[in-house]
Amino acid sequence: MPRILIVDDESSIGTLYREEFEDEGYEVKTASSGEEALAALDSFKPDVVTLDIKMPGMDGIEVLRTIKEHHRKLPVILCTAYDEYKADFGSWACDAYVVKSSDLAELKQAVQRALKGSQA
């Protein structure tokens, strides 16, 4: 059962993602800040991470950089309301960039691809 770490400061989004991905058969853990997410990496050992960018405290780009420094192979999907960060060099390290939508089809596709890629 793949493990997915959802990082978003908006609790309702976290709840939505958790329920959706649990329905899809994932083991889900949510974190409401960058610091919390980094702390959960070692204990939870996710196979994939979805990461919001705009958050209080550490922002998603910073979290991404930290994750990639220590867990190079861990796929991270930036999932944000903004698409401008695509132009940010810091975002290039991510495995996918998905603009948030109430339809989670694109996000789910990206997660599946990422998992497939990391297994290959």
Q: Which residues bind another protein (CB under 8 A)?
A: 10, 12-13, 16-17, 19-20, 23, 81-84, 86-87, 99-106
Query: Residue 67: which residues within 8 A CB-CB, separation 6 or more?
Result: 38, 41, 49, 74, 76
- Nearest CA to 120 among 76, 73, 67? 73
Residue closer to another protein, measured from CB, 57 or 70: 57
- Nearest CA to 45 among 21, 29, 66, 31? 29
Q: How far is the CB of 20 from another protein (least distance, A)?
A: 7
Q: How far is the CB of 51 from another protein (least distance, A)?
A: 15
Residue closer to another protein, measured from CB, 20 or 59: 20
Q: How far is the CB of 42 from another protein (least distance, A)?
A: 29
